[in-house]
Structure 1
Amino acid sequence: MAAGRCTHRLDIRNDIVVKRYTSWERGEPHREWAALTLLAEHAPDLAPAPVEAVLDAHPPMIVMTRLPGRILRGEHATGEQITAMAAALNRLHQIPARVVKEVEPAPWGPAAAIDKARSWADEQLALGQAHLVQEAFRAGAAWLASTIPDKLTTNPLPPVLGLADGNRANYLWDDLQRCVRLIDWEDSGRNDRAFELGEVCEHISRIDGSLDAELLLAHMDLAPEEAERVRDFRILIALGWFLQLGPTGPATPHNPVGTLERQAKRILQLLS
């Protein structure tokens, strides 16, 4: 969730993309190469195909195929695009559990998100004194102090391979094929499906354009228990971003004026 973090440079050519990493202390090149290799076998054409990797170089480098299309961040996603996003996620989440269990856990998941949000809430980061913002902070802090977040750390369902990043810049819309593909797998790993869906719905990139999260979830075939977990993860992810949006917060420079107030409204809406 680290706001504004950039870990790579891209050299985009006619049919390939060369990705050189500028930081890799969390194993980003290895994660991405492992994910692309697995996807090429179990969900071909859902992501770039792996071409070549030099993982132990300085800097590490990966070469992958270039996919057609444009990113969905900044777009007002249409019903067709949302349906295509859901189809891509369903296909990703259908990779057999026996395969996913061999994948390293994602660095960003339920436990990490809960710890971060609680830490930020305890620090009482400067969010300003606006009534709406303070109301959202009090309600969010009370939710974080409850037993609900702790219950989210136990996943009753099989894990999935996930991006562990809900940024809509990772979703590529192909106008010709009328489909969505997924890019940027450097934070990927084994994860909780409900958490992954909460990330997609509540990542701060949702304010750049629009995405009907309810329509997306309607296409995801969620059991009642999983739907409840998605709702709670949406609260958690939304709170994490809210707590980074104060005047000196790390997410503030990357978002337009008024984002804090919009996020406060979102918190209260999700908690109502």
Structure 2
Amino acid sequence: MADLQHTHELDYDGDRVVKRYVDSKPGAAEREWRALNLLAEYAPDLAPEPIAYDDGVVTMSRIDGVPLRGLFARAKHVSGMAEALRELHTAVPGHVLRTLPVRPWQREAIVDWVRSRCAAWQPREPSADRAVKEGLRWLESWSPGEAGVTPVFGAGDGNLANFLWDGTRVRIVDFEDSGRSDVAFELAELAEHVSMWVDGEVEIARRFELSPQEERRMRECRKAHALVWFFLLSHEHPRNPPGTFQRQIERVLARLSA
């Protein structure tokens, strides 16, 4: 799940990057290492090359590129991002994908997390309180089923900073939450990540041709992810401009009414 917590430390050594994970995120290093190896085999040059793994420390190649977060995302950048995502989602063959663990923070975990935050919510301004009330009402009725589920390999993190533009193409970093997922869930997480709209809306979901069932599933998943970000942003964070939480309240209410 997207969060605002520090999960790792990065050291740069020439053309290598050493990523050390904190103890509070179990399994993250293993997921990163597995993803890098899978992508090195099935989608070479899309992500860093795996070099070494040792007790929670992953060493990988350093790839060139400017993070899309902080870069004014033009059409060519968004097109490159969409192309990279299609390659990521379809890279792992079905018979291999079926053997992989489901990525962390899928529907059940998000439902439990949001429900607990709703229960602990202390009344604030009326619009925020309304978002909590309507969000909980929707959450209790959410039953997505299997319609619109198209299995993919998911990175598990929608942060725009994880997409690097090298002047020609986009490549992807950060796979600590990766695993088996579905395209609607992954696109919903991307679309609702704060980095995708706080500095200017990046409409990545429109770059994908989805079936009607996938579209419906994505809309519902976007409601869930919008609620996640409602609580994550309920205390203003210095990396985001003032007023971000108020904008998130408006996004939640708009998603829930759609």
Does the alignment reach a TM-score above 0.5?
Answer: yes
- Structure 1 match to 2:76: 80
Conserved 8 A contact 1:10-1:20: yes
Q: TM-score normalized by structure 1? A: 0.86
1:21 match: 21
Structure 1 Cα separation of the partners of residues 136 and 25 of structure 2? 32
Superposed counterparts of 1:203-218, under 5 Å: 203-213=193-203, 216-218=204-206
What is residue 262 of structure 1 aligned with on the other side?
Answer: 247
Gaps of 5+ in 2: none
Note closer, same or farther for the CA distance 1:32–1:51 as it changes in structure 2 (3 Å cut).
same
Letter in 2 for 1:143: W
In structure 2, what is the equivalent of residue 192 of structure 1?
A: 182
The 3-state SS of whatever aligns with 2:33 is helix
Would the aligned equivalents of 2:148 and 2:184 in 1 still touch at CA under 8 Å? no
Amino acid in structure 1 at the alignment position of 2:154: G
Letter in 2 for 1:83: S
Amino acid paired to 1:4: L
Correspondence for 1:164: 156
Given candidates 51, 60, 67, the residue that maps to 1:64 is 60
2:223 is aligned, of 213, 220, 235, to: 235
Verify the 8 A CA contact 2:84 2:171 in the aligned structure 1: yes
* Partner residue of 1:150 out of 135, 143, 148: 143
In the TM superposition, residue 269 of structure 1 has moved relative to its aligned partner by 1.9
Give CA-to-partner distance per residue, 1:83-135, whole Å, 9 cap, x none.
Answer: 11111111111122211112122112122112211221233x13622x33233
The answer (yes or no) to whether the contact 1:16–1:64 under 8 Å persists in 2 is yes
Range 71-80 or range 35-44, more displaced: 71-80
Alpha carbons of structure 1 residues 88 and 133: separation in structure 2 relative to 1, 3 Å: same
Shift of 1:169: 1.5
- Report the Cα offset of residue 76 of structure 1: 3.3
**Pairing 1:104–2:101 present:** yes
Task: Please state whether the residue corresponding to 1:151 is helix, strand or coil.
Answer: coil
Q: How far did 1:25 drift?
A: 4.7
Q: Aligned residue for 1:174?
A: 166
Per-residue deviation at 1:183?
0.4
Report if the CA contact (8 A) 1:198-1:233 is conserved. Answer: yes
Identity within the alignment, %: 41
How large is the Cα RMSD of the aligned pairs? 2.0
**Alpha-carbon distance between aligned partners in 1 of 2:26 and 2:36, rounded to the nearest angstrom:** 17
Structure 2 residue 28 is matched with structure 1 residue 32: no
Equivalenced residues, count = 256
Q: Which residue of 2 aligns with 1:5?
A: 5
Say which SS state the counterpart of residue 143 (structure 2) adopts: helix
Aligned-partner Cα distance in 2 for 1:157–1:97:
14
1:186-241 per-residue CA deviation (whole Å, 9 max, x = no partner) reads 1111112211111100012234422332xx22321211100111111111101111
- Give me the whole-angstrom Cα distance separating, in 2, the residues matched to 1:99 and 1:73: 32
Shift of 1:18: 1.3
Mapped pair 1:128 → 2:124:
yes
Distance 1:121 1:193 in 2: 27
Question: Secondary structure of 2:209's partner?
Answer: coil
Q: After TM superposition, which residue ranges in structure 1, 4 or more long, deviate above 4 angstroms?
A: 251-254
Distance in 2, matches of 1:2 and 1:221, equals 25
Separation of aligned partners in 1, 2:148 and 2:246: 35
Q: Is the 8 A contact 2:233 2:245 kept in 1?
A: yes
